[in-house]
Chains A and B, each alone.
Chain A
Amino acid sequence: MVFQQQGFISSSQIWTESLFRERGVKAILRAHVQRVEPGKIYYETLDGEQNALAFDFAMLLPPFRGADLKAYDRAGADITGDLFAPSGFLKVDADYTPKPKDEWRAVDWPKTYQSPLHANVFGIGIAFAPPHAISTPRTSPNGTLIAPAPPRTGMPSAVMGRQVAHSIADMIRHGATEPTHTASMAAMGAVCIASAGAGTRDGTAAAMTMYPIVPDYARFPVHGRSVKDTYGEIGLAAHWVKHLLHFVFIYKAKARPGWAFLPE
């Protein structure tokens, strides 16, 4: 991801490293956690080295996986492998043809999130199987895959949910035979606000927008994303926005008056 700041195009990596240096944060990159024992994490880095890190408090995000649901047809035959990818995610209207990274395209990504096998089955957000990663997947000399999974964050997931709901409503009410609404991650943007300190007067957060979420080098040949709509800033205002959004999300989730007018 690149940002245009003060006349320069700089990468989000530099931006993040600057914030880490400012806050005294150390980082271990391109690592795969192998196991966790009380007070110690064992991990492998991309060069194949095995390491361990002691901790007092650890917060880990497990690898993205589907819910490992089982599926059976009317005759009772197991169709789990037909419906779901090996990762457990639901296969939808994406191009799952295995291809190297230089052949990845924005059009590979799903638009309607409908199962190609069953028209009444949809998978949105964290439920659908991505056609491939967004970032470059890497493998250690030991064969360990070290690759960040494509993020399916709240904003795009909520947009997918709304669009699929409209499609389903049209199919039920108006007899539409195909989904009528789309929400490709290659055609929508996202906002992300990462907190970096609380406090109405001295809080901080990093606010970022990106468009589109999945890089589209056909439309944006140089960087894959719109430089105008992809940006980041750090400051007190971003913390205020994050705080505001907490209330907005809960208000909308509780369907309080006017909730439908609040955006995802």
Chain B
Amino acid sequence: MNTADERIAAAPLPTARVLRRRSSIPLQLWRFARINLRTLRMVRKAH
């Protein structure tokens, strides 16, 4: 096992709660809006 595999094997895993949040429709609709706002923020910084 190389060093990368050792690091990956020791990396933190998401909890069941985190996994549910990643696929929760209501929460992800909110996150969709937030990601788009962050994107627009980056666009404004580029102008």
List residues of chain A with CB under 8 Å of any chain B CB. Answer: 14, 17-18, 20-22, 25-29, 155-156, 159, 183, 188-191, 201-202, 204, 207, 209, 211, 229, 231, 233-238, 240-241, 263-264
B11 interface neighbour in A21, A155, A202, A235, Cβ under 8 Å = A21
* Across-interface contacts of A233 in B (CB, < 8 A): 31, 35
A18 interface neighbour in B13, B30, B43, B45, Cβ under 8 Å = B13
| Bitwise interface map of B from 14 to 32 toward A, beta carbon under 8 Å scored 1, else 0 | 1000000111010011111
* Across-interface contacts of B28 in A (CB, < 8 A): 235-237, 240
On whether A190 and B42 interact (CB within 8 A), knowing A25-B8, A27-B5, the answer reads yes
Q: B45 to A27, Cβ gap below 8 A?
A: no
Complex Cα distance, B4 from A183, in Å, reads 36
* Across-interface contacts of A188 in B (CB, < 8 A): 42, 45-46
Closest 4 pairs between A and B when the two form their complex, measured CB to CB: A17-B11, A237-B31, A189-B42, A237-B32
Q: B35 to A238, Cβ gap below 8 A?
A: yes
Q: B43 to A263, Cβ gap below 8 A?
A: yes
Q: A237 to B35, Cβ gap below 8 A?
A: yes
Across chains A and B, the number of contacting residue pairs, with CB separation under 8 Å, is 93
Q: A28 to B13, Cβ gap below 8 A?
A: no
* Across-interface contacts of A25 in B (CB, < 8 A): 8
List residues of chain B with CB under 8 Å of any chain A CB. Answer: 2-5, 7-9, 11-14, 21-23, 25, 28-32, 34-36, 38-43, 45-46
On whether A264 and B46 interact (CB within 8 A), knowing A18-B12, A21-B11, A237-B28, the answer reads yes
A189 interface neighbour in B4, B14, B45, Cβ under 8 Å = B45
Q: B11 to A28, Cβ gap below 8 A?
A: no
Q: B29 to A21, Cβ gap below 8 A?
A: no
A235 CB to nearest chain B CB (Å): 4
- 9 A–B contacts from the bound complex (CB under 8 Å): A18-B14, A21-B9, A155-B42, A159-B46, A189-B41, A209-B41, A233-B35, A235-B23, A240-B28
Of B8, B35, B39, B43, most buried by chain A (CB within 10 Å of CB) is B35
Q: B31 to A209, Cβ gap below 8 A?
A: no
Q: B38 to A234, Cβ gap below 8 A?
A: no
* Across-interface contacts of B7 in A (CB, < 8 A): 17
* Across-interface contacts of A28 in B (CB, < 8 A): 2, 4
Shortest Cβ distance from B23 into A: residue? A236
Shortest Cβ distance from B3 into A: residue? A29
* Across-interface contacts of B13 in A (CB, < 8 A): 18, 21-22
Complex Cα distance, B34 from A14, in Å, reads 23
Shortest Cβ distance from A240 into B: residue? B32
Q: A189 to B2, Cβ gap below 8 A?
A: no
B5 interface neighbour in A22, A26, A156, A159, Cβ under 8 Å = A26
